[in-house]
Amino acid sequence: MVLQHHFTWQVLLGLMTATALGYFGSSAAMAQEKDIYVVTQFGATADDDVLDTQAFQKAIDAAAKHGGTVRVPKGRFVTGQLQLPTGTHLFFEEGAVLQGSTDFRDYGQGRWTDSLILAEDAEHITIEGPGTIDGADCEIPGGEEGFRGPHALRFVRCRNVTIRDVTITRSGNYAVLCNDSADFLISGVKFRGGHDGVHAQACQRFRVVDCDIRTGDDCLAGCDNVDFEVARCQINSSCNGFRLGCVHLRVHECRFWGPGEYPHRITIKKGKPRTNMLSAFVHFAPTDRNPKLPSDDWLIKDCTIDNVDAVYLYDFEKGVWQTGQPAKHLVFENIRCQNIAYPVRALGDKDRQFDLTLRNVSIALREDRADQPVLEIAQFGQLTLENVVLQNSGKQPVLRARDGREIHLRHVEAKPTNPQPFVWANVESVSQD
């Protein structure tokens, strides 16, 4: 049985809209606030390489104390780590750039958890543009994979956070890292380069809307999450669009395309930059994180996927970072996929909890990869295809399935015509229209 929603998207939208209007407002509302704290009034100087960390922190603390707004004017300001208390409102004007130091020691102890902006046990925070947060590709010698540096923004046990209309670029590690946090709105944000765009671990009620995410690693990642919506986003990566574990995921009106505009950072270090986008969606439940939740109740609808290696990948037995918890119910609806290099592949758990539905979907393999099935699935509960077009070279079946309970095929077309388009073995029940 599919898990029942305990939180509707209509309620979430209302709450996040109220939060944004009540606490953060727009730049016009900011101009009407009583207390504006301009960082230059606290000693920050633009367009030099002198650290402005203390000046920024003084402005942040003063504004949070009095319920005001920190304003960053046009210019480039260099800092180390900044800490955001409850009630922080950071506004970056057009042309304002907060640039992280290139010296990892300015962020902390050279640990994986270091970040340019940090909020812990805080709430009612907003960071809004149209300015830029620049991680300067800062590296930590001997860090993860030998070089990964500080994250751009890190939130730990935070609530009611809005990040809106800023550009986050050249992050030394993740652009936005969230742990044990809830009620986030990430809207109109441009992600450029760096590693993961949004990485959420054990988080709830996140909305990522109208964002343009172009990264050198996964665009959205993490596991043990609940109630996520991603809408009207541009998603381009040299790794994966989603490497995610989540219960109740809604993705709609998004565009996925490859190759990645920013090479995969690890391959750059190895001297062989790679830009192919590996997958639009990958199940993520790494055993070493001891995940508590499966991936369940996913609805992916009204999206286009172009020139990506794979649409969806899941292997519960041997998949990299996929074996800690199973995937369960996944629906693709109104999806157009073209220039795909590999089949949709899913190997579920032995209890056959994985159900896959494709409804009003077309998937066309690339010409140089067309001599293979379009969909391969094993150890599943129910496979349902309705109004589906699967295109390969015609030399192989478009569907290969085994060890499942039910298959339902309704108006499924193989292109080109194939005398044996569907092959299955050890499936208990099959219905075809």
**Model confidence pLDDT, tens digit, residues 370-389:** 999 999 999 999 999 999 99
Q: What is the tens place of the pLDDT at every residue in 282-312?
A: 999 999 999 999 999 999 999 999 999 999 9
Measured torsion, CA atoms of residues 29, 34, 40, 42, in degrees rounded to the nearest 10: -140
Q: What whole-number distance in Å separates Cα of residue 15 and Cα of residue 20? A: 9
In angstroms, what CA-CA distances link 277 with 256, 309, 426?
Answer: 9, 6, 34
Phi, psi angles (nearest 5°) of residue 136: 60, 20
For residue 63, what is the enclosing H or E element?
Answer: helix 53-66
pLDDT at residue 277 tops 50? yes
Q: 247, 225 in Cβ contact below 8 A?
A: yes
Identity of the residue numbered 26:
S
The overall average pLDDT reported for the chain is 93
Any idea which of 187-201, 263-277, 351-365 has the lowest mean pLDDT? 263-277
The pTM assigned to this predicted structure is 0.91
**Burial (CB count within 10 angstroms: exposed 0-12, middle 13-18, buried 19+), residue 242:** buried
Write the pLDDT tens digit of every residue in 76-117.
999 999 999 999 999 999 999 999 999 999 999 899 999 999
The pLDDT, as a whole number, for residue 45 is 97
Q: Cis bond leading into 85, ω under 30°?
A: no
Average pLDDT over residues 141-163: 94
pLDDT, residue 34, reads 60
Sign of the Cα torsion 391, 245, 197, 114 reads negative
Residue-level pLDDT at 143 = 84
**The pair of three-digit structure tokens given for residue 210, joined into one six-digit string:** 């109208």
Residue at token pair 């809207």? 187
The pLDDT of residue 20: 42
User: Which uninterrupted H or E stretch holds 62?
Assistant: helix 53-66
Residues 6+ apart with CB under 8 A from 186: 162, 163, 164, 176, 198, 206, 207, 208, 209, 211
Q: 400 pLDDT exceeds 70?
A: yes
What is d(CA 243, CA 223) in angstroms, rounded to the nearest whole number?
9
Rounded to an integer, what distance in angstroms lies between the CA atom of residue 59 and that of residue 37?
6
In eight-state DSSP terms, residue 91 is E
Q: What is the CA radius of gyration of the chain?
A: 23
Q: In the structure encoding, which two tokens stand for residue 183, read together?
A: 């009620």
Percent of the chain residues topping a pLDDT of 70: 92
Sign of CA dihedral 229, 123, 151, 62: positive
Q: Using CA atoms, how far apart are residues 390 and 416, in angstroms rounded to an integer?
A: 9
Do residues 395 and 367 lie in contact, with contact meaning Cβ atoms separated by under 8 Å?
no
What pLDDT is attached to residue 433? Answer: 87
Beta strands per DSSP E along 170-321: 176-179, 182-187, 190-192, 198-201, 204-209, 212-215, 220-231, 234-237, 240-252, 255-257, 279-283, 296-306, 310-315
* Residue 36 one-letter amino acid: I
Distance of alpha carbon 36 from alpha carbon 28, whole angstroms: 13
Does the pLDDT value for residue 4 go beyond 90? no
CA-wise closest residue to 122 among 54, 189, 60, 31? 60
Does residue 7 register a pLDDT over 60?
Answer: no
What is the per-residue pLDDT across 314-362, written as a single tens digit (0 to 9) for each?
Answer: 999 999 999 999 999 999 999 999 999 999 999 999 999 999 999 999 9
Which tokens hold the place of 383?
Answer: 């496979």
Asked if residue 177 lies in contact with residue 151, where contact means CB atoms within 8 angstroms, the answer is yes
Mean pLDDT of 126-148: 93
pLDDT higher than 70, residue 6: no
Could you report the per-residue pLDDT of 15-55, keeping only the tens digit for each?
444 444 343 344 433 433 469 999 999 999 999 999 999 99
**pLDDT of 19:** 42
Distances (CA, A) of 410 to 186, 358, 433: 38, 10, 5
